Amino acid sequence: MTLANRMVMAPMTRNRAEADGLATSAMAVHYGQRASVGLIVSESVPVSAQGVGYPFTPGLYTDSQAANWRRVTDLVHVGGGRIFAQLQHCGRISHPSLQPGGTLPVAPSPVRPDGQAVTHGGMQDFVMPRQLDTEEVPAIVAQFRHAAQQAKRSGFDGVEVHAGNGYLIDQFLRDGTNHRADSYGGSTANRMRLLHEILDAVCTVWPAGRVGVRVTPENSFNSMSDSDPQRHFEYIASQLNPRDLAYLHVLEGDMTTAARIVDYHALRAAFAGTYIANNGYNLERAQHAISSGHADLVAFGTPFVANPDLVRRYREGLPLAVPDRNTFYAGGDTGYIDYPFHPREEALSA
Tens-digit pLDDT profile for residues 146-163? 999 999 999 999 999 999
Q: Which stretch of 140-149, 166-175, 226-235, 257-266 has the lowest confidence by average pLDDT?
A: 257-266
**Among 174, 36, 167, which residue's Cα sits nearest to residue 106?**
167
Q: Average pLDDT of 105-124?
A: 97
Give me the pLDDT at residue 348, please. 34
Does residue 141 surpass a pLDDT of 80?
yes
Q: Average pLDDT of 303-313?
A: 98
**Among 272, 46, 70, 32, which residue's Cα sits nearest to residue 140?**
46
Does residue 350 surpass a pLDDT of 80?
no
Q: Average pLDDT of 112-134?
A: 97
Q: DSSP labels for 112-134?
A: PPSSEEEETTEEEE--PPEEPPG
Q: Average pLDDT of 306-332?
A: 96
* 35 or 349, higher pLDDT: 35
DSSP annotation of 246: S
Query: What is the percentage of the chain residues whose pLDDT exceeds 70?
Result: 98
The answer to whether residue 339 is catalytic is no
- Cα-based angle 89, 40, 319 (whole degrees, multiple of 5): 125
Q: How far is CA 105 from CA 111, 159, 161, in A?
A: 11, 24, 20
Judge residue 156's burial from the number of C-beta atoms within 10 Å of its C-beta, 0-12 exposed, 13-18 middle, 19 or more buried.
buried
E runs forming strands in the chain:
7-9, 39-46, 83-88, 106-107, 116-119, 122-125, 130-131, 158-162, 211-215, 247-251, 275-278, 297-300
* 349 or 288, higher pLDDT: 288
Give me the pLDDT at residue 259, please. 85
Does residue 345 surpass a pLDDT of 90?
no
Report yes or no: 109 and 177 within 8 Å, Cβ to Cβ.
yes
**Separation of alpha carbons 110 and 34, rounded Å:** 40
Q: Average pLDDT of 216-245?
A: 98
Give me the pLDDT at residue 332, please. 94
**Among 90, 216, 89, which residue's Cα sits nearest to residue 146?**
89
**Separation of alpha carbons 296 and 275, rounded Å:** 5
Q: Average pLDDT of 49-58?
A: 98
Report yes or no: 292 and 265 within 8 Å, Cβ to Cβ.
no
Give me the pLDDT at residue 349, please. 30
Q: Which stretch of 79-83, 215-219, 345-349 has the lowest confidence by average pLDDT?
A: 345-349
Does residue 346 surpass a pLDDT of 80?
no
Per-residue pLDDT band for 140 (boundaries 50, 70, 90) equals very high
pLDDT in tens, 65-102: 999 999 999 999 999 999 999 999 999 999 999 999 99
Q: Which of helix, strand or coil describes residue 159?
A: strand
**Among 340, 338, 280, which residue's Cα sits nearest to residue 16?**
338
Q: Exactly one of 31, 167, 281, 336 is catalytic; name it.
A: 167
What is the number of residues in the chain?
350
Does residue 187 surpass a pLDDT of 70?
yes
Q: Average pLDDT of 259-269?
A: 96
Neighbours of 163 (CB within 10 A): 27
Per-residue pLDDT band for 347 (boundaries 50, 70, 90) equals very low
Does residue 24 surpass a pLDDT of 70?
yes
**Separation of alpha carbons 273 and 278, rounded Å:** 16
Does residue 237 surpass a pLDDT of 70?
yes
